[in-house]
A and B are shown apart, each in its own frame.
Chain A
Amino acid sequence: MRSELDMIIGGVRPLERPEAAHSVKETSKGGEGTFTGELSKALGEVDKLQVDADQQAKMVAEGGGNLHEMSLALEKADISMRLAMKVRNKLVDAYNEIMRMSV
């Protein structure tokens, strides 16, 4: 009886962690080429365009710069911001979708 139990318990091996789980864990640190890294790079780009638009507007307000350059900078900032918002909304949607999943 005892030996049978031992045999059954011995047959239950610990679950091996799949390789994919390893790679996900390693890539989620936010380095180069990872999703987090790319995301923060893209956000940095959006931020740069916002700052650029700000500077252009400031220059025009101070009497320097020129109007269409300012408008174009504002336009760039607007488009990139909309794109960033779109990506954010998609991410939040995906997160909510996963959270709604019944386990």
Chain B
Amino acid sequence: MLEVEGLTARYGSIAALRGAALSVGSGEVVGLIGPNGAGKTTLLSSIAGLLSPAEGRVTFEGKDITGRSPEQLLRSGVALVPEHRRIFADLTVEENLRIGGVTVPAAKRAELLDEMAERFVVLKEKWDVPAGYLSGGEAQQLAIGRALMSAPRLLMMDEPSLGLAPVLVDLVFELIGTLRDQGRTLLVVEQNAARMLEVSDRAYVLRSGEVVASGTGRELSQRDDLFDTFVGSVVAPDEGLPAAGSPVANGAGGGTA
């Protein structure tokens, strides 16, 4: 369904991606894991059209979508829950959801709004509250709900559990599980590698802009050479407490926000 081949992306002269490749089949849940600065966000941003890759090709449902704008990408059926959620703080919960459905016809939008109200009970309670007042967990649910409002055929999420308390991390993974059970196609970037491997069909490991390993969760967790990627998750599964030397501990957009 989604094919990424030889993707290279640069920030100035720094190559954040060097020929990364991956694929996601219809109905699959695919994890993308790797240390801070590996290029995970860059990869999702390039697929979503926020960045134009220097080289490589992205195809979705057989169509070449490389370098298309984010608004075109969304219309092609690919939605992204961005890193740090980026909900519209001044808009109400309902307005945030509505804007997520800006591309769908009004009748369908109303239907989806009802569906979101049902699915996310905490949001229903704060329907008319400016989203800036939501807690981290509520905001993350809103960000996911907002992306679902476009009825995407492929949903990408960038670190949905980032900065959440353990119970809320559970909630996010439960939600990913529910979406998987509904047959949705997901590509999820997660710092929480062990948890992600549990809910995904397959996963890719990205390091320094390259895919260094891929396979099922079981296959990947047995690879000793990937140890550093999983420190703080497989070895010390009580998430939220990054182990010493863990990539989570070194700041820069990750970890303890």
Are A and B genuine complex partners? no
